Structure 1
Amino acid sequence: MTTLTPTAAVSARRAPLLPLLTQLVLAELRRLARNPMFALATLGFPILFFALFGLPAVHEKTAAGVNVGQYILVSFGTYSLLTLAMFSFGAAVASERTGGWLRLLRASPLPAPLYLLAKVIAALLFSALSLALLYAFAHFVGGVTLPAGQALLIAGKLLLGMVSLIALGLCIGFLANPTSASVIAQIISVLVSFGSGLFVPLDQLPKFVQNLAPYLPSYHLAQIGWNTLAGQGNDAPHWVWLAGYTLVFALVAAWAYRRDEARGE
């Protein structure tokens, strides 16, 4: 009989990470899809808002010569990613943390980074679906057409920049309880969306809002999308801002996670 060393025994019991990650991602996607209110907010509301605000203006032009329908399409695409990040990570993580799920995971061999990575991948996949549905509605109902290459480029940039919003959602999830996390996520989604010019162009908002906008992560994410749409502008400063937000929010979330771990929560 062959005797395994302790290290070999642990390796033998450890599941391959890729299949485990795949199962975690699928479980997270099922959780998102089975929550009707979440699906309505992230998939339905952006389409509804585009129908209300975008369809009446699909043939108009902005001062920069950009089609208004395309401009609003990028705006509500950004809004859908913001909403998903706030609720998928803010409210959901808070519920899993206080409900004991994270405490159970800490006691299991599952690495905590793998759990978070699965949630990030699932959120990006769900976000890609949200953008695809919004693009399809704008195209088939409103006649708003983007070249395939440009549409994919804008979607790719928005999804990449969404990581900063995910980090913000993690901060909410690890700092607040489930009830307050949902309220905070809702308030942040609404205020930040308006403050970033996603619902109303910034030049039509009060001066103090225009001054505040450059300090909001969703503003920089939307600017990247709008600049790509117009084929102009230097996105480097916006990426630097988003990277800074990601780092700061991730550090705060990591600190809150370790605090809960120390408390045994």
Structure 2
Amino acid sequence: MSLVLTHAKYQILEIVRIPIAVIGNVFFPSAIMLFFVVPFTGDDPVAATFATGSMVTFAVMSTCLFSYGIGVAEDRAQPWDPYLRTLPAGPWPRMGGRICAGLVMIGIALVPVLIIAALFTEATVSPLGLLLGLGALAVAALPFTFLGLLIGYTLPSKAAIAVAQVVFFPLAFGGGLLTNPQQSPAFIEIIAPYLPTRGAVELVWAAVADFTPQVTSLISLAVWTAAAGALAAWAFRRDEGRRFS
């Protein structure tokens, strides 16, 4: 565990030494909250609560895809990474440290969204709902963490940036993260239940508000999580075998 925390410490230091990486991680969900959620739903407690749930899911997804996808790809391009992979401790302390650093980045992305919701909207949540919402976000983060790792371990850094963006925006829009339930365009309602973003945000909505998730969305979330996890494990073993065998 001490090795995991040591890796996490230095990975966090690497991130904060490039302030734009932290600013970019915070900017998009906070900007959407300020420019779209606050003016249009801020006075409606129900709509504001649903919109806040969407934005925290948005923040988790973007952090996982970009932090893991681009971060892993950039690390693989550095000579320090192959050296670390040859040490007797093995790759798992570094992987654990990466996950811990990602959790810190998720927390940094969530705080401004929650502050904006508390100060400028009528969104409400009970203490129990808040705890359940954080638990739902932990589950929601899994498929996007695995997708980020898959991108990072299969692509060079320049390609990883482009692919992460290509994956991120269709999942965000197609999953209905930018609309409240029952207010999405018809074509979004058709495709959304089959995307992991919809199952993720419905878990959050169910935790913080009076909402019943669709069975199709939850099954789809589970399938995406299992498939992305299997592919991420394959990509990790493939990268290890190609570069270190």
Residue of structure 2 equivalent to 1:32: 15
Matched, 1:124 2:134: no
Deviations 1:136-183 (A, max 9, x none): 221123343322221222122112320221001001111111011011
Separation in structure 1 between the aligned mates of residue 135 and residue 111 of structure 2, nearest angstrom: 12
Separation in structure 2 between the aligned mates of residue 238 and residue 203 of structure 1, nearest angstrom: 14
Separation in structure 1 between the aligned mates of residue 217 and residue 104 of structure 2, nearest angstrom: 23
Shift of 1:104: 1.5
Shift of 1:243: 3.6
SS of structure 2 residue aligned to 1:67:
helix
Separation in structure 1 between the aligned mates of residue 174 and residue 36 of structure 2, nearest angstrom: 17
Matched, 1:43 2:29: no
Instruction: Give the conservation status (yes or no) of the 8 Å contact 1:73–1:138.
Output: yes
Shift of 1:223: 0.7
Separation in structure 2 between the aligned mates of residue 129 and residue 153 of structure 1, nearest angstrom: 19
Residue of structure 2 equivalent to 1:184: 163
Shift of 1:21: 1.2
Q: Report 1:213-228 matches (<5 A).
A: 213-228=192-207
SS of structure 1 residue aligned to 2:179:
coil
Separation in structure 2 between the aligned mates of residue 241 and residue 124 of structure 1, nearest angstrom: 24
Shift of 1:213: 1.4
Is the deviation greater in 124-133 or in 81-90?
124-133
Separation in structure 2 between the aligned mates of residue 79 and residue 234 of structure 1, nearest angstrom: 18
Residue of structure 2 equivalent to 1:77: 56
Separation in structure 2 between the aligned mates of residue 53 and residue 164 of structure 1, nearest angstrom: 27
Residue of structure 2 equivalent to 1:54: 37
Separation in structure 2 between the aligned mates of residue 234 and residue 184 of structure 1, nearest angstrom: 29
Residue of structure 2 equivalent to 1:142: 121
Separation in structure 2 between the aligned mates of residue 215 and residue 93 of structure 1, nearest angstrom: 27
Q: Which runs of 4+ in 1 moved over 6 A?
A: none
Instruction: Give the conservation status (yes or no) of the 8 Å contact 2:62–2:168.
Output: yes
Question: With structure 1 as the length reference, what TM-score do the two structures score?
Answer: 0.82
Match of 2:74 among 71, 85, 95: 95
Shift of 1:228: 1.9
Instruction: Give the conservation status (yes or no) of the 8 Å contact 2:43–2:121.
Output: no
What amino acid sits opposite 2:153 in the alignment?
F
Separation in structure 2 between the aligned mates of residue 197 and residue 224 of structure 1, nearest angstrom: 13
Separation in structure 1 between the aligned mates of residue 24 and residue 81 of structure 2, nearest angstrom: 26
Residue of structure 2 equivalent to 1:200: 179
Separation in structure 1 between the aligned mates of residue 15 and residue 220 of structure 2, nearest angstrom: 29
Runs of 5+ in structure 1 lacking a partner?
1-17, 61-65
Compare CA radii of gyration and give the structure with the larger one.
Answer: 1
What amino acid sits opposite 2:112 in the alignment?
L
The count of corresponding residues between Structure 1 and Structure 2 is 243
Runs of 5+ in structure 2 lacking a partner?
none
What amino acid sits opposite 2:42 in the alignment?
V
SS of structure 2 residue aligned to 1:173:
helix
Q: Percent identity?
A: 26
CA RMSD of aligned residues (A): 2.2
Instruction: Give the conservation status (yes or no) of the 8 Å contact 1:154–1:229.
Output: yes
Matched, 1:168 2:147: yes
Separation in structure 1 between the aligned mates of residue 130 and residue 243 of structure 2, nearest angstrom: 46
Separation in structure 2 between the aligned mates of residue 120 and residue 246 of structure 1, nearest angstrom: 16
Instruction: Give the conservation status (yes or no) of the 8 Å contact 1:131–1:155.
Output: no
Separation in structure 2 between the aligned mates of residue 19 and residue 204 of structure 1, nearest angstrom: 48
Question: With structure 2 as the length reference, what TM-score do the two structures score?
Answer: 0.89
Shift in alpha-carbon separation, 1:117–1:54, aligned structure 2, 3 A: same
Shift in alpha-carbon separation, 1:151–1:21, aligned structure 2, 3 A: same
Is the deviation greater in 220-229 or in 119-128?
119-128
Is the deviation greater in 176-185 or in 146-155?
146-155
SS of structure 1 residue aligned to 2:43:
coil
